Structure 1
Amino acid sequence: MRICILYSGEFGRKVIGNLVNLSGFCVSCGDLCDQCRRCRPSAADQIVGIYEITQNLPEFIEEPEEYLPAMIPECDLLIAMDLHPDLLTGLPDIAEKAGISGVIVPVEQHRLGPPGIIEKVRKDLESKGIDCEFPRAFCSLEKCGKPVIDRFVEMGFGKPVLRVQLNERKDHIVAADVITDAPCGSTCFVARKLRGTAVKEYKETVSSAHHAYPCTAGMEIDPQIGDTILHRAGYIIRKSVEDALEDCKK
């Protein structure tokens, strides 16, 4: 699959680092790093274009094409992260010109994903026959029946999925492996911190690791989900760990 990325800011850089599994990308463990990401896959050979869009933009943009690349390589999937909301309206034309089949626009900050603009972009993309998803928290992305987007999830990025092993007494986690990583890479860090944790303390460990990574999702209330996107991301990883623990009991 051929992937093209448009992004502004640190979150996009973090996702790119995770997708290509850059050496030294994750520094959350500092001097205690044990290279736990060595066995993670890299999607570097599937990324055909990366474009950083400046954050130094006017408050209102009437002509998004003035700030977006005039042309991007032909590809299957476009991921657009943390762009100025007015630039999102230019994505359908870009996607159509590049023969794109699917577009993912994760919303990590409510102010960057106003519902009205998101709905307009969705309709414009769908009218051109382009599948799209707008996950509020990139780590909420799941398979949705849209082929190209499902293939991205199958690559191992989206809503976290873990596999854990317990000791014989079933009271400590002795191993935690990542099946599907949050696109920002936080799941690997959480998994690393879970190893050696008492089962009864998993909530505290997950919460601490998720914040320490850190999760950079918005801390303002998002009316679309009735909570902050940061909290939603925290609930998602905690539920993923709970599901993994339940699987151990079967």
Structure 2
Amino acid sequence: MKITVLYSGNYGERVLNTILEKFAQNIVSIHEIPENLPEYIDDVSEYVPENLKESDLIISVGLFGDINLIVCDIAKKTNAKSIIIESHSPKQVTKGLKSEISDSLNEIKIVFPKPFCSLKPVGDTYIDEFAKYFGSPEIEIIGETIVKSVIVKRNAPCGSTKYVAENLTGYSLNEVEFESGNKLHNYPCLASMDVDNEIGDTILHLAGYKIKEAVKKSLKFSNKILTVTGDCKGFECGFKCYKICPVVKMGENAVEIEKTHVNINNLFCGCCMKCVDICPFNAIKVLNYKI
């Protein structure tokens, strides 16, 4: 697999350094795009790098605004088959830009993970090969009551999963879900704290939900459980909890719709409490669980 990387800013540099650990031999071109370019650019062609090489996959990291459109020219020049364009800020790639890029390259598989650590296999040869190693965090926690070690099976592209894993040793299993979120902030996560209007939450919070999801999947339990009581009448309210859930909007089954009600899948749930607040029937309750 031949990869071209476009990056900009501190976040882009961090991701580049992380993925080089695995894909250094696969990366045929690396191009730094200037920071602080205008949000709206009449002609992006002047920013298209020279000396482009044939590539299978283009990874674009840290670009803001219209400059993202250069992937269209680059994809055509490199004969790329697949493209990953990440977002760690709501200002990076608007809904309109996504449509413009997708319409221009309708024969190429393009994904727009928001955040980058939400990337999962999508049935595409090149994106899936990358997602084996980088994307939605996957870990294995070893220990019966205390964390003895943590194996990283899939790292976040920014490297945060590896950092969190290295700093969970010694905590009790009851603490690691909460502590994984703390460690993500300590890294620190560079995702934006501005609310993303498409998601209804901050992208930094979404990144926090993803590392906690990895912890809960490894432990097979959650310390905080949202449960739905028999008072749920989701068919009457139009399943408001499902519609407001930021994790659902990120593509995970945190809220599962049955015919007349919902269930909460706590392995995915980020416990943002938006569903608790919006439920007109007061049917979603919070339970604390200890092993």
> What's the TM-score, normalizing by structure 1?
0.85
**What is the CA deviation profile of residues 85-116 of structure 1, one whole-angstrom value per residue up to 9, with x for unaligned ones?**
11122312210220101000001110111111
Which residue pairs with 2:5 in the alignment? 5
Which residue pairs with 1:77 in the alignment? 57
Paired residue secondary structure (1:49): strand
**What is the CA deviation profile of residues 220-250 of structure 1, one whole-angstrom value per residue up to 9, with x for unaligned ones?**
1111211110000000100111101119xxx
Worse-superposed segment, 191-200 or 88-97: 88-97
- Paired with 1:77 and 1:16, the residues of 2 have a C-alpha distance of 14
Q: Is the 8 A contact 2:38 2:65 kept in 1?
A: no
Which residue pairs with 1:29 in the alignment? none
- Paired with 2:178 and 2:215, the residues of 1 have a C-alpha distance of 12
Q: CA deviation at 1:14?
A: 0.4
Which residue pairs with 1:160 in the alignment? 137
* Partner residue of 1:121 out of 75, 86, 101: 101
Q: Is the 8 A contact 2:40 2:65 kept in 1?
A: no
Which residue pairs with 1:95 in the alignment? 75
- Asked if 1:108 is matched to 2:85, the reply is no
- Paired with 1:139 and 1:208, the residues of 2 have a C-alpha distance of 17
Q: CA deviation at 1:194?
A: 1.4
Structure 1 runs, 4 residues or longer, greater than 3 Å off: none
> What's the TM-score, normalizing by structure 2?
0.73
- Paired with 1:13 and 1:76, the residues of 2 have a C-alpha distance of 21
Which residue pairs with 1:39 in the alignment? none
- Paired with 1:136 and 1:56, the residues of 2 have a C-alpha distance of 21
- Paired with 1:12 and 1:67, the residues of 2 have a C-alpha distance of 17
Q: CA deviation at 1:203?
A: 2.6
- Paired with 2:39 and 2:147, the residues of 1 have a C-alpha distance of 49
Letter in 1 for 2:5: I
Which residue pairs with 2:161 in the alignment? 187
Q: Is the 8 A contact 2:2 2:57 kept in 1?
A: yes
Letter in 1 for 2:126: V
Paired residue secondary structure (2:28): strand
**Structure 1, unpaired ranges of 5+:** 22-41
Q: CA RMSD in A?
A: 1.4
**Structure 2, unpaired ranges of 5+:** 222-291
- Paired with 1:64 and 1:94, the residues of 2 have a C-alpha distance of 11
| Greater helix share, structure number | 1
Letter in 1 for 2:104: D
Q: Is the 8 A contact 1:138 1:158 kept in 2?
A: yes
RCO higher in 1 or 2 (8 Å CA, sep ≥ 6)? 1
- Paired with 1:245 and 1:164, the residues of 2 have a C-alpha distance of 7
Which residue pairs with 2:127 in the alignment? 149
Paired residue secondary structure (1:58): coil
Q: CA deviation at 1:16?
A: 1.0
Q: CA deviation at 1:71?
A: 5.0
- Paired with 2:37 and 2:210, the residues of 1 have a C-alpha distance of 33
- Paired with 1:59 and 1:199, the residues of 2 have a C-alpha distance of 45
Q: CA deviation at 1:58?
A: 3.1
Bigger Rg, structure 1 or 2: 2
Letter in 1 for 2:96: G
Matched positions, count:
221
**What is the CA deviation profile of residues 127-185 of structure 1, one whole-angstrom value per residue up to 9, with x for unaligned ones?**
xx11110001000000011221111112x11111101111xxx2211110000000000
Work out the percentage of aligned pairs sharing the same amino acid: 37
- Asked if 1:43 is matched to 2:17, the reply is no
Letter in 1 for 2:153: I
- Paired with 1:234 and 1:152, the residues of 2 have a C-alpha distance of 22
- Asked if 1:212 is matched to 2:186, the reply is yes
Which residue pairs with 2:19 in the alignment? 19
Letter in 1 for 2:155: D
Letter in 2 for 1:68: V
- Paired with 1:108 and 1:230, the residues of 2 have a C-alpha distance of 8
Q: Is the 8 A contact 2:39 2:65 kept in 1?
A: no
Map 1:22-33 onto structure 2 (within 5 A).
none
Letter in 2 for 1:223: N
- Paired with 2:180 and 2:213, the residues of 1 have a C-alpha distance of 10
